Chain A
Amino acid sequence: MTKMTVTLRVWRQAGPSARGRFVEYAAEGVSPDMSFLEMLDVINEGLIRKGEDPIAFDSDCREGICGTCGFLVDGVAHGPDRGTTVCQLYMRRFTDGATITVEPWRARAFPVIKDLVVDRSAFDRIIQAGGYISVNVGAAPDAHAIPVPKSVADNAMDAAQCIGCGACVAACKNASAALFVAAKITHLNLLPHGEPEQHKRVVAMVDQADTAGFGSCSNEGECEAVCPKEIKLSTIARMNRQYARACWFDR
């Protein structure tokens, strides 16, 4: 198998208040079948052997379902592939000898902790504001006990795929969390168990996103294009409708 050599320009920042800068690293002997994170592991092993500080980046499942990893690869969140997280991006996607720029998510609400790691607890606070169902719904009921039309279940399920990685915020020119908030609202509000609290939920979650310092939706759909779970912009339209209804007509 042919091996690749790539040059990485990586954002290095020692701590939240430290000044960051780009540092170049040469990655030699890279297998085209390595994931982007595995390639970073190889670079880090080399750095550790030399006694240098390895590049800090978040990762957990490495199979694209946990939402822990994520950074910009050559200016696009999660890299150039559609519907993938950066752990599912493979080195065969790049040409031998390429220079690849790697940068953390940038938003006021996502401060850099170190290198490529950002603090996404602003998302947790949005979930704490309303991304839950208060009642104890007990064990799984009989399948026919609570009727849910197929189309509704499909839409809720599509939205429920959101893994909260933050790529939507990173890609948005306004650093808006609209797609994340809308995915959670759509997922919970469409289903019978979440419906009773739908108005309280949409108001609490949208307001919490505003308070956290995220911007407003640009309607450009860069979020949808980079979303590893391909959450649709239509969820944001639904959120806008529900927020207006909750603010003006709820009693």
Chain B
Amino acid sequence: MPMRPMKFLSSSVGTKVLIAVTGLAFFLFLILHLAGNLLIFVGPEAFNSYSHKLVSNPLLLVAEAGLAAIFLLHVVKAVVNFTANRHARPVGYAMKRWARHTSRKSLASTTMIVSGTIIFGFLILHLITFKFGTYYEDPTHHYRDLHRLVLEKFSHPGLVGFYVLCMTIIGLHLRHGLASAFQSLGIEHPQYNRLIRLGGVVLALLIAAGFAAIPIWVYFVGTR
């Protein structure tokens, strides 16, 4: 039998595999992003010099293009998958209850398309706020003073609340997404299924809490 990669990618199984791989790639990006962000707790110098090293690297454009491609693939495949799945049940149930028992259905799993849409919107606002936000220059080092912008933005309680809410939604998306990606990829064994599911929940919680800690800390402590 010949290889059939294109057929695979358009099949129901392959679609979920693509969503899983791109989702996991974005999860790895989030870990790196968080690690960089946490430098804000070290001090303005560490935070700004890290951000300067990042943006002055010519490879950043390649990385950004790659991230954008992965993100778009994830979104496009997920939306196509969602509409196809809607199509699979044209007449809905008058009464439908969760089966419970062994089911893994959760608030997170039922709202992936909603949380995903919110995250998409958040991402655009997030890039406008920081990446394309006001350019302050550090008078001593003559590079961008991103630290000042972060402090300025997170002095507004509205924006702090918005960010914490969005991080909660990202945590919810990851809570289903992480373990679900492993199942889609067929990485599954009774010996470590519990670990995968528990690990997914814990990592989702840690990432959401880590990101949310920054606006909260800046608002209550950082600006003093």
Contact = CB atoms under 8 A, between A and B. Distances in A.
B104 A106 contact: no
Contact of B16 (A22, A107, A109, A216): A216
Interface size band for A = 35 or more
A243 B11 contact: yes
Contact of B103 (A174, A175, A225, A236): A225
A219 B13 contact: no
B57 interface: no
B89 A215 contact: yes
A48 B105 CA distance: 42
A221 B106 CA distance: 10
Interface size band for B = 35 or more
A21 to B, nearest CB: 10
B183 A243 contact: no
B109 A239 contact: no
Given A206-B12, A221-B104, A237-B187, A108 B88 contact: yes
B223 interface: no
Nearest to B110: A173
Interface string A153-184: 00000000000000000010111101000000
Contact of A216 (B85, B176, B190): B85
B190 A220 contact: no
B65 interface: no
B88 A72 contact: no
A22 B110 CA distance: 27
Interface string B89-111: 11111111111111111000110
B94 A22 contact: yes
Contacts of B84: 215-216
Interface in A198-251: 199-200, 203, 206-207, 209-210, 213-222, 224-226, 233-234, 236-244, 246-251
Interface stretch (B1-9, B135-143, B147-155): B1-9
A93 to B, nearest CB: 15
27 contacts: A11-B94, A72-B93, A75-B95, A75-B96, A75-B97, A77-B99, A108-B90, A174-B89, A178-B12, A199-B1, A203-B4, A206-B12, A210-B11, A210-B12, A215-B85, A216-B16, A216-B84, A217-B12, A217-B13, A217-B16, A218-B85, A218-B109, A219-B184, A220-B109, A221-B105, A226-B99, A247-B5
